[in-house]
């Protein structure tokens, strides 16, 4: 490796992966590495991967193939995250020039693995035991956002939904102690961050090993820390979503008025095949708690179309659920088979073109719902946290407490810094964003 230790890290996937990358970067910096902006300038090239979506492994192998001769110039490669855990040492077989393969729960061993890499070892693995009770704190984490601090409070998943690979790549659920979470939250606040986002594959499945806090009580405790103005959490699971979470949002002003609660389907038959272990009626009861809150809580969800055996009636039941709930946002995907999942044994009976048609119908229906929902906020004054600028339109870009993108005009020549809170009067609405002017 080069005398100056440099690294490039590319992240695929969700916010949890992005925060995992912060842990990796913090550890590398502490070990004397310097982060660079391009693979060409790096001695160590790392890909932090996600395996939730279709062809995730192939995407990683394609990226590696793009650089298959770069190792001749002394560059080293590492594959991290879910694809690393899923593929294991098969990565070395398909890409022999890769030197490091590590799952997310092994990041605490990174200093040791880096030392072995620097000593010249060819193939190093950090593949965590899927039954481990160890959590995943690392001593160092880089904070890449200038305004939002992420904290993983629960890792892994015990739900075993029939389509999902997460239990096989992230292992079983294990929660951090509430004391360690609050200690990290205090440190983040002391660094000047005003927004904290609590993360977990199923964040509200949190179980405090110390027995001190429920998830709702932990939310409240973080929201009451000095200096914190916003607390978010993602992603929730309906099986563990409880009324006291809504009560906490109602009671504590710093808890953002937004809940992301994946439903996946509006059909009881499909939900049973997915092993979600709730019914549409159960889900709608939880939505009722949220809609009955004193605060107007924004709702978003995830939906899979074309799951094996999904008929036309099942699909229309999902559309009916959209109409009943009136979500502010939907992340919708076509079903794709994932390795090791029970759904692999089910006949994928919905043709690809029909999946595409259903997805388009659903997105169009949701677009009209969002158009109506967002238009209701014209004339309101919202507190917006600045995230950056939109130079093409001469606007400041930010986000409301409800997690809605807001672009607004700013009368001063110097733009407000990211992390600044600005009152914005909404003057126009689109299906996916709001437009306004600073007041």
Measured CA distances, 165 to 51, 82, 179, 302 (Å): 7, 9, 30, 16
CA dihedral 236, 240, 244, 250 (to 10 degrees): 20
What does the alpha-carbon distance between residue 261 and residue 234 come to, in Å, rounded to a whole number? Answer: 9
Percent of the chain with pLDDT over 90: 73
Q: Which residue has the higher pLDDT, 104 or 317?
A: 317
Which has the closest alpha carbon to 329: 431, 199, 245? 431
Instruction: Give the per-residue pLDDT at 67.
Output: 82
Instruction: Give the per-residue pLDDT at 132.
Output: 58
At 26-42, the pLDDT tens digits run 889 989 999 999 998 99
pLDDT over 50 at 1, yes or no: no
For 318, the enclosing helix (H) or strand (E) is helix 312-325
Q: How confident is the model at residue 2 (pLDDT cuts 50, 70, 90)?
A: very low
What does the alpha-carbon distance between residue 228 and residue 376 come to, in Å, rounded to a whole number? Answer: 29
Instruction: Give the per-residue pLDDT at 157.
Output: 93
What does the alpha-carbon distance between residue 129 and residue 201 come to, in Å, rounded to a whole number? Answer: 18
Instruction: Give the per-residue pLDDT at 16.
Output: 81
3 state DSSP class of 135: coil
Report, as an integer, the average pLDDT of 379-400.
94
Q: Which residue has the higher pLDDT, 426 or 349?
A: 426
Q: How confident is the model at residue 139 (pLDDT cuts 50, 70, 90)?
A: low
pLDDT over 90 at 68, yes or no: no
Percent of the chain with pLDDT over 70: 96
Indicate the average pLDDT of the chain. 92
Cβ proximity of 407 and 427 under 8 Å: no
At 365-384, the pLDDT tens digits run 999 999 999 999 999 999 99
Instruction: Give the per-residue pLDDT at 219.
Output: 98
What does the alpha-carbon distance between residue 6 and residue 33 come to, in Å, rounded to a whole number? Answer: 5
Its pTM stands at 0.87
What does the alpha-carbon distance between residue 278 and residue 238 come to, in Å, rounded to a whole number? Answer: 7
Least confident of 59-73, 186-200, 270-284, 368-382: 59-73
Length of the chain: 439
Report, as an integer, the average pLDDT of 322-344.
95
Sign of the C-alpha dihedral computed for residues 22, 55, 349 and 355 taken in this order? positive
Instruction: Give the per-residue pLDDT at 372.
Output: 98
pLDDT over 80 at 281, yes or no: yes
Q: Which domains does the chain have, with CATH numbers?
A: 6-126 (3.40.50.12160), 148-370 (3.80.30.20), 381-438 (2.40.50.140)
Residue 210 is encoded by which pair of tokens?
């110390």
Residue 13 is encoded by which pair of tokens?
């996937």
What does the alpha-carbon distance between residue 410 and residue 438 come to, in Å, rounded to a whole number? Answer: 6
Instruction: Give the per-residue pLDDT at 334.
Output: 96
Report, as an integer, the average pLDDT of 52-61.
76
Q: How confident is the model at residue 62 (pLDDT cuts 50, 70, 90)?
A: confident
How many other β-carbons are positioned within 10 Å of the β-carbon of residue 95? 20
Q: 155: Cβ–Cβ under 8 A, 6 or more apart, which residues?
A: 104, 105, 135, 136, 170, 171, 173, 174, 200, 201
Q: How confident is the model at residue 136 (pLDDT cuts 50, 70, 90)?
A: low
Instruction: Give the per-residue pLDDT at 171.
Output: 86
Q: How confident is the model at residue 140 (pLDDT cuts 50, 70, 90)?
A: low
């Amino acid at each position: 490796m080069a005398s100056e230790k440099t690294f490039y890290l590319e992240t695929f996937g969700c916010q949890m992966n992005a925060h995992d990358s912060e842990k990796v970067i913090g550890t590398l910096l502490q070990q004397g590495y310097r982060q660079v902006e391009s693979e060409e300038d790096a001695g160590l090239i790392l890909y932090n991967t996600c395996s939730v979506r279709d062809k995730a492994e192939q995407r990683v192998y394609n990226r590696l193939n793009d650089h298959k001769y770069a190792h001749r110039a002394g560059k080293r490669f590492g594959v991290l995250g879910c694809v690393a855990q899923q593929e294991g040492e098969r990565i070395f077989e398909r890409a022999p020039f890769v030197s490091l393969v590590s799952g997310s729960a092994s990041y605490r061993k990174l200093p040791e693995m880096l030392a072995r890499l620097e000593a010249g070892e060819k193939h190093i693995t950090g593949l965590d035991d899927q039954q481990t009770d160890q959590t995943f704190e690392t001593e160092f984490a880089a904070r890449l956002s200038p305004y939002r601090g992420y904290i993983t409070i629960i890792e892994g998943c015990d739900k075993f939904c029939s389509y999902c690979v997460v239990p096989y790549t992230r292992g079983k659920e294990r929660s951090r102690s509430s004391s360690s979470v609050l200690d990290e939250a205090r440190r983040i606040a002391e660094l000047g961050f005003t927004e904290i986002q609590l993360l977990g594959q199923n964040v509200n499945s949190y179980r405090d090993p110390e027995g001190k806090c429920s998830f709702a009580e932990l939310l409240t405790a973080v929201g009451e820390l000095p200096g914190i103005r916003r607390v978010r959490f993602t992603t929730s699971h309906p099986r563990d979503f409880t009324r006291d979470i809504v009560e906490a949002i109602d009671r504590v002003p710093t808890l953002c008025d937004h809940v992301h609660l994946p439903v996946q389907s509006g059909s009881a038959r499909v939900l049973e095949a997915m092993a979600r272990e709730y019914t549409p009626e159960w889900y709608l009861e939880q939505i009722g708690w949220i809609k009955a809150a004193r605060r107007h809580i924004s709702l978003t969800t995830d939906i899979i179309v074309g799951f094996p055996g999904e008929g036309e009636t099942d699909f229309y039941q999902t559309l009916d659920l959209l109409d009943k709930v009136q979500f502010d946002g939907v992340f919708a995907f076509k079903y794709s088979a994932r390795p090791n999942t029970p759904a692999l044994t089910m006949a994928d009976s919905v043709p690809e073109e029909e999946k595409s048609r259903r997805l388009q119908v659903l997105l169009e229906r949701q677009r009209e719902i969002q158009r109506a929902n967002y238009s209701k906020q014209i004339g309101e004054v919202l507190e917006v946290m600045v995230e950056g600028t939109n130079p093409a339109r001469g606007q400041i870009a930010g986000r409301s407490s409800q997690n809605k993108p807001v672009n607004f005009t700013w009368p001063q020549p110097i733009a407000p810094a990211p992390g600044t809170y600005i009152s914005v009067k909404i003057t126009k609405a689109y299906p996916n964003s709001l437009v306004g002017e600073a007041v």
